[in-house]
Amino acid sequence: MEKIWAPWRSKYIFNENIEKGCILCNRIKKEKDVENYILYRGEKAFLIMNIFPYNNGHLMVAPYKHTALLEDLDNEEGKELVKTMTLAVRILKESLRPDGFNLGINLGKVGGAGIEDHLHIHIVPRWNGDTNFMPILADTKILSVSLDEVFKLLRKTMDNLLC
């Protein structure tokens, strides 16, 4: 039998403290970008890795403004959200070379939002054949590269793109 390891998740399994407040706001306030997998900070939006990724390189773009509603964003916030999403796609194309992407916003609990109170856009890189029998038969998703390794690669690529 093959074992599947995801050791970076152990801190969430063993942590009995439930985080208070918005997890996105909490991460951005800490100013510990490497520890919190924050790749980019713009003026009105930021780019962060999803720590429970669907695929390696699963990113999220969020406004600094704490709102669940797309219509609460002003024009500048909306523009920067799209600009940061575009940067995320460029970083992923350059570093991980996916065959395609899923981009999406889940609004509200019924809409599938895991973080209901803070608007965010998911950017999920996809590769031909990245879905196999494991999610269907074993309710298990296999991620081949650790969050730390992916973060370092994406950060290096981003730094090169922004020079």
Per-residue pLDDT 10s for the chain (163 aa) are 555 566 655 655 666 556 788 999 999 999 899 999 999 999 999 999 998 888 889 999 999 999 999 999 999 999 999 999 999 999 999 999 999 999 999 988 888 888 889 999 999 999 887 665 444 444 445 556 788 888 998 999 988 888 7
Break the chain down into helix, strand, coil percent, rounded to 5: 35, 15, 45
pTM summary value = 0.80
Could you count the other beta carbons within 10 Å of the beta carbon of residue 28?
19
**8 secondary structure, DSSP code:** G
Q: Which residues pair with 46 in a beta bridge?
A: 41, 62
Catalytic annotation, pick one of 58, 66, 118, 120:
120
Q: Is 120 a catalytic residue?
A: yes
Which domains occur in the chain, in start order? 20-162 (3.30.428.10)
